[in-house]
Structure 1
Amino acid sequence: MSIVSTRKLTSRQRLWLAAIKVPVYSVSVIPIIVGSSAAFEKISTFDFRIFTTFLISSILIIAWINISNDYFDADTGIDKNKPHSIVNLINNKSLIFWLSNIFLILGIGGIVLISWLQKDLTVLFMVILCCILGYSYQGPPFRLGYKGLGEIISFITFGPIAVSASYYSQVQHFSIISLASGILIGISTSIILFCSHFHQVKDDFFAGKRSPIVFLGTKLGSIVLKVITVFLMFLVIFFPILKILPFWTFLSLLSFPVAHKLVQHVSQYHNQTSKVKNSKFIAIKFHFFSGILLSVGLILSKFI
């Protein structure tokens, strides 16, 4: 194989890695881990079978969201300059449409299994609501993400609903602990989506997508990011002080260096497309570590 062809293969592989969006699957994994950890803190037991089924189903559903979003974005032309769009890589929209739906059916199937085992449809209804909200983000005729509502949808879907659904699947009731934990995870999830707009503000504008950064501009957007991040850190302190969350959830504060790095990076490079695009991955790192530390704090609270 020649050097030229090797470079082409490597480039293709990189595009596929970007298209698959492996780091983004954090938003499907963390809510399930946090919700299950909150349940363990409450009842000291853990159903690994339910947890594993829910986790796999969540990953399948986020795969549906990612693939279908690329499919719907292709209709608006917003991804014409996005070489790692799955639509641009495969060039077969029909195949992509059915592939995304297969992931959805398999994901919902796992939740149906949980509901059947527990003889309780509550979790199924909550996950279906999440899927409806996920579709409304990019799917016609709603396309709420084009109206600047994506961050709100992400907060609700991957925060309070997803965490509470995971919690409920373990204990079959609701709690203020799962709601408060869901609020923290929901905010960090919305931060990921918020940061993803900085490097594509021009494409969003010309495609008619009124993302928060299109509306605010990159400079003001970087300030808003700082305010939201500080507010999240405040809640991490506020909830344990009021005993809404256990004391050891303070551990989530250890993710502060990543949060600080994110805010500094966006403040410095907010209008430099080639550099600010990395902010999304810093936000994912912050989401992952803050979520894991929150889970560890919930579990430790049962033992210490």
Structure 2
Amino acid sequence: MTSPVAVSVVGPDDRTPDRKKLWMAALKPPMYSVAIMPIWWGTALAYGQQHALNWGVFLVFMGSAILILAWENITNDVFDSETGIDINKAHSLVNLTQRKQLVFWLGNGCLALGILGIGAIAYGQQDPTVLGLVLGCCVLGYVYQGPPFRWGYQGLGEILCFFAFGPLAVGAAYHSQTHGWSWESQTASIVLGLTTSLILLCSHFHQVEDDVAAGKRSPIVRLGTQRGAQVVVASCLVIYGLILALALGGYTPLATLLSLAGVPAAWKLCRQLLRHHGEPAVIKDCKFIAVGLHFWSGLGFGLGFFLTY
């Protein structure tokens, strides 16, 4: 775990190296691939199946998705500050700024801009379906941490994450290009939903003590770190088994096997967790290894469609 917030760390001097590192950790730039990949997948599937590609819609959707994820990340820091679970998290935006209301409204501003972009797409297409699907994602994002729900504290975060960043988000991106629906795209979205949920699962390993103290029953709290590591290994096998089945079964182009570019990250993740699952200082960055798995497998999958058609 990170050390408790100290005055010298959260003081007014923004030029100190430690504070810069804390800001980078708080903003979590690598995590925004989580917002980008559903739009990439949905667009790639639309291009492959119906040769539909509107670059303007793609770019607006991408920007809106990033803003909406920023809202979720920012407000999660606010909601976590209310439960005390982030007391030892020096890179919480609330702990860094000591201005919870400002952080809260900054997050809401990101949400408003993101929804405005999606609304513009829906208005231009005279079809509210995309907006409805994205609003569904936002609802799942809120009940994950927001009061009075806080379903993430009940261990349901990975399930919410699967649907929000898998079938719903990929379906919305696909519909924004084709104005239609596809069972093939929904089947493929299962893979992306699983890789996204894996990131969240890996984020729990190093903070078990704080989760228990705050009453958060994350899957790792419930399972223990050893069995949790075994679940990660099984999840990786399922993810790449599905990728192989889709490509070799003819449901996706063979070129989508470029998704196997994520295997080295999966190997590193599994090995590190199996060996060091009970050592928070060693495995605290495992979620970023999972982000690498998510990014490279997602990038390869989309490229498989664009290179084939």
Please indicate the TM-score interval, normalised by the length of the shorter structure. Answer: over 0.9
- Of the three residues 211, 217, 220, the one matched with 1:210 is 217
Moved more, 54-63 or 35-44: 35-44
Q: TM-score, normalised by structure 2?
A: 0.94
- For residues 5-16 of structure 1, the aligned pairs below 5 Å read 9-16=16-23
Contact 2:262 2:292 in 1 (8 A): no
TM-superposition CA deviations, 1:150-172 (whole Å, max 9, x none) = 00011100011111110110000
Match of 2:116 in 1: 109
Give 1:43's aligned residue. Answer: 50
Aligned pairs for 1:177-192 within 5 A: 177-192=184-199
Over residues 125-155 of structure 1, what are the superposed CA-to-partner deviations in whole Å (9 max), with x where a residue is unaligned?
0000000000000001110000000000111
Separation in 2, partners of 1:165, 1:244: 20
What's the CA shift for 1:240? 2.2
Structure 2: runs of 5 or more not aligned = 1-11
Q: Which residue of 2 aligns with 1:78?
A: 85
1:266 is matched with: 273
Alignment partner for residue 263 of structure 2, among 250, 256, 268?
256
1:245 matched to 2:280? The reply is no
Letter in 1 for 2:18: S
Cα distance change of structure 1 residues 100 and 49 upon mapping to structure 2, 3 Å threshold: same
d(CA) in 2 for partners of 1:163, 1:181: 9
Shift of 1:239: 1.5
Q: 2:230 aligns with which of 223, 248, 253?
A: 223
For residues 176 and 52 of structure 2, the distance between their equivalents in structure 1, rounded to whole angstroms, comes to 12
* In 1, Cα distance between equivalents of 2:15 and 2:278: 30
Rounded to whole Å, the distance in 2 between the matches of 1:255 and 1:208 is 34
Aligned residues: 298
CA distance, structure 2, for counterparts of residue 55 and residue 8 of structure 1 = 32
Aligned-residue offset at 1:181: 2.3
Distance 1:208 1:160 in 2: 30
Structure 1 stretches lacking a partner, 5+ long: none
Classify the secondary structure of the residue corresponding to 2:86: coil
Q: Is the 8 A contact 1:254 1:290 kept in 2?
A: yes
Deviations 1:41-85 (A, max 9, x none): 122231110001000000000000000000000000000000000
Q: Which amino acid aligns with 1:176?
A: W
Q: Is the 8 A contact 2:14 2:20 kept in 1?
A: no
Q: Find the aligned partners of 1:254 and 1:20 in 2 and give their Cα distance.
A: 26
Identity of aligned residues (%): 47
User: Would the aligned equivalents of 1:176 and 1:244 in 2 still touch at CA under 8 Å?
Assistant: no
Is residue 2:281 matched to residue 1:280? Answer: no
Greater shift after overlay, 293-302 or 74-83? Answer: 293-302
**Are 1:97 and 2:124 an aligned pair?**
no
SS at match of 2:147: coil
Structure 2 CA distance, aligned partners of 1:278 and 1:268? 14
How far the C-alpha of 1:8 sits from its partner, in A, is: 6.6
SS at match of 2:250: coil
Cα shift readout 1:86-117 (whole Å, capped 9, x = no counterpart):
00011111111111110000000000000011
Does the 8 A contact of 1:32 with 1:51 survive in 2? Answer: yes
CA contact (8 A) 2:269 2:290 kept: yes
CA distance in 2, matches of 1:90, 1:76: 18
Normalising to structure 1: TM-score of the pair? Answer: 0.95
Task: Specify the alignment match of 2:5 in structure 1.
Answer: none
Cα contact 1:180–1:245 (8 A) shared by 2: no
Runs of 4+ in 1 over 4 A off after TM superposition: 5-8
